[in-house]
Amino acid sequence: MRLRLIGLAVALAAVALAVLLVVARSPEDVRRAVDDAGAWAPVAFVVAATLLTCAFFPFPIMAASAGLLFGVTAGTALSITGGTLGAFVAFLVARYIARQGAEDLAGDRLARVRAFVARRGFVAVLYARIFPGVPRDLANYVFGVTRVGFAAYATATLLGIAPRAYAYTALGGTLGDLTSTQSIVAVSVLVAMGALGLALVALERRRA
């Protein structure tokens, strides 16, 4: 099992290195590559976004890039798709490849997390998506080694990703005019999501 964890870590490191090589290119090179890809550019972006999510690449940068390259409407759809698929892939990798090894290494700490998720399921995933400061890409793998069902995980993930995807994509698509209506709405969405996350956690503590 430990060999599986080591193999997974090596694979993620390789993806991260490839990401760094791509991101290091100038914005002009990236835009030219998108133009050359033509109709395949959205597909290529979704594939890249899926891999980027698995490699812990910051979702705000990825979504903002979608807005810059494809516009707010198309960019939002692409960033939601790529971010959600990446979360699904990470979850499944952890569940079917790394679960037993993670349980052996984490011991009681993981047992406590698994117990909470087993009780709350959908709500636990949604909290992780909404609450500010949670390392969401790491959470994808953590939830994979819990007992939360895939349907609950998928639904909560999509609900949590969609508003932030729009906000970051809109900020990227209106980078030259941060006083535009879309930029103001985007910032308002991020603030509202953060406030909602704090309120939900406070409610959960009171209930506990």
Give the residue extent of every domain in the chain.
Answer: 2-207
How high is the mean pLDDT of the chain?
78
What would the two tokens of residue 175 be?
A: 């980078």
Q: Which residue has the tokens 């590559």?
A: 33
Q: In angstroms, how far is the first alpha carbon of the chain from the final one?
A: 35
Q: What is the pLDDT of residue 37?
A: 65
pTM over 0.95: no
Q: What stretches of the chain show up as alpha helix (H) in DSSP?
A: 2-23, 27-37, 41-54, 59-70, 72-93, 99-106, 108-120, 122-130, 136-144, 150-173, 181-207
Ramachandran quadrant class, 75 (left: phi over 0; alpha: psi -120 to 50; beta: rest): alpha
Measured CA angle at 165 (ends 96, 136), to 5 deg: 40
Phi-psi region of 71 (alpha: psi -120 to 50; beta: other; left: phi over 0): left
Greater pLDDT, 91 or 207 = 91
Tokens 């807005």 locate to 67
The pLDDT assigned to 91 comes to 92
Range 199-207 average pLDDT: 74
Q: Greater confidence, 102 or 165?
A: 165
List of long-range contacts for 97-100, beta carbons under 8 Å, 24+ apart: 97/4, 97/8, 98/4, 98/5, 98/8, 98/141, 98/144, 98/145, 99/144, 99/145, 100/1
Confidence of residue 81 (pLDDT cuts 50, 70, 90): very high
Whose CA is closest to 163, among 190, 203, 196? 190
Range picked from 32-46, 95-109, 117-131, 141-155 for highest mean pLDDT: 141-155
